[in-house]
Structure 1
Amino acid sequence: MFVRWSPPMIGWIKVNTHGTRKDAKSQASCGGVLCDHASYWLRGFLRFIGRCSVIEVELWGILSRLLVVWELGYTYVVIESEC
């Protein structure tokens, strides 16, 4: 199956997040990007989280980006996560 990224509607931004965790020590981090309707890269991010579950990693990624999105003044946001 072929999966392709699609931009958000005009006036919206899209946040794509990804989280990862090492099973042995449960050390986790998350990252992602913000893009506009023209597929223009607005900002990227990376955050070390520490010990947590897989779902917590994804949720931290979403929360981290929402805080930045709101600080930048965006109100129309689409969030994509692989989880």
Structure 2
Amino acid sequence: MHVEPRQIICQYAEEWYSANKPIIGISNQTLTQLSWNRPNLGGCKINSDGSRNNTTGQIGVVGVLRDATSAWLKGYYVNLGIGSVLEVELLGIFWGLSLAWDSGF
């Protein structure tokens, strides 16, 4: 019996959706408070963000390095050409870590 991968993927997706859809009237949402945590003295914190234009596929990242007092140390922005959302996130991390390393952190 021949089964197409597309059928298997769709079946698993439907099963997952059915198992995970919220019960009507009951919310499974939770509130998470996010805050900036300072790095150790002499260290730095990398904050990066990226974006992707869904029409053209163009991606880019920006970021800053901040010290324990949250003061700006250095920043970066990079036009990365065409890529995926996953590439934006991974390359944002890469550029931040590269700048921190090159800066002696």
TM-score (norm 1): 0.79
How well do the aligned residues superpose, as a CA RMSD in angstroms?
Answer: 1.3
Structure 1 unaligned residues grouped into runs of 5+: 75-83
How far did 1:9 drift? 2.1
Q: After superposition, what is the alpha-carbon deviation per residue over 1:19-62, rounded to whole angstroms, capped at 9, x for unaligned?
A: 10011111110001100111111011110001111010111111
Larger radius of gyration: 2
Is 1:25 paired with 2:56?
yes
TM-score (norm 2): 0.64
Q: Matched residue pairs, number?
A: 74
Deviation beyond 6 Å, 4+ runs, structure 1: none
Amino acid at match of 1:61: G
Distance in 1, matches of 2:73 and 2:91, equals: 20
How far did 1:2 drift? 4.3
Distance in 2, matches of 1:10 and 1:23, equals: 40
Instruction: Choose which of 43, 56, 64 in structure 2 pairs with 1:12.
Output: 43
Structure 2 unaligned residues grouped into runs of 5+: 1-31
Distance in 2, matches of 1:3 and 1:71, equals: 29
Q: By percentage of residues, which structure has more helix?
A: 2
What is aligned with 1:77? none
